[in-house]
Structure 1
């Protein structure tokens, strides 16, 4: 299995789209390595949308929500390790909480990938 840090944004975006249940429509739609996925909204509207959790805050929050739903403790542990490489903590101060809340979309995507991968195994 490829280490998440070694994955390109496009590889990680495609993997997360599949883990979130999207059908991949196009993997290389533009030079920004966007992924186009098919979706169905609650109103039964079917369409296409860009899905780039490595670069888009809203998409990274979508994969974060999926990971939290699957295993919240594991996701927080993985995100902590991503934003504070010195190690995970049992207790956090304001600076550590700030680091978790201000994680980049790529950091959230990596933590979600690791969490969702371990759930599927």
Structure 2
């Protein structure tokens, strides 16, 4: 999963809600945050929207203590980021991979996410591929 996360990051895929970019197998995914998460999880192209990523058939809510690399921090109506590990011992900051303007980012965010972006909750994909 981490290799797929880095695939678009290494290519600096630009953010867009209208365009698509290819995954390693040549399938086109939307280049917004939910399209990126869908590509990483190998969901059917062009990808689910943020609400669709919270579908209990594919993800389950987890606790902060359960977070592992590859899990999602999700606001069902706004944005999704991929958890890439804790950035401090207090677990108040973490590394993310996320598709956000202008392009895929790998950065530190406050837990659960920036306050002006609404409520984010941790989720785990049910079917690691």
TM-score normalized with structure 2 length: 0.29
Larger Rg: 1
The structure that is helix-richer by fraction is 1
TM-score normalized with structure 1 length: 0.30
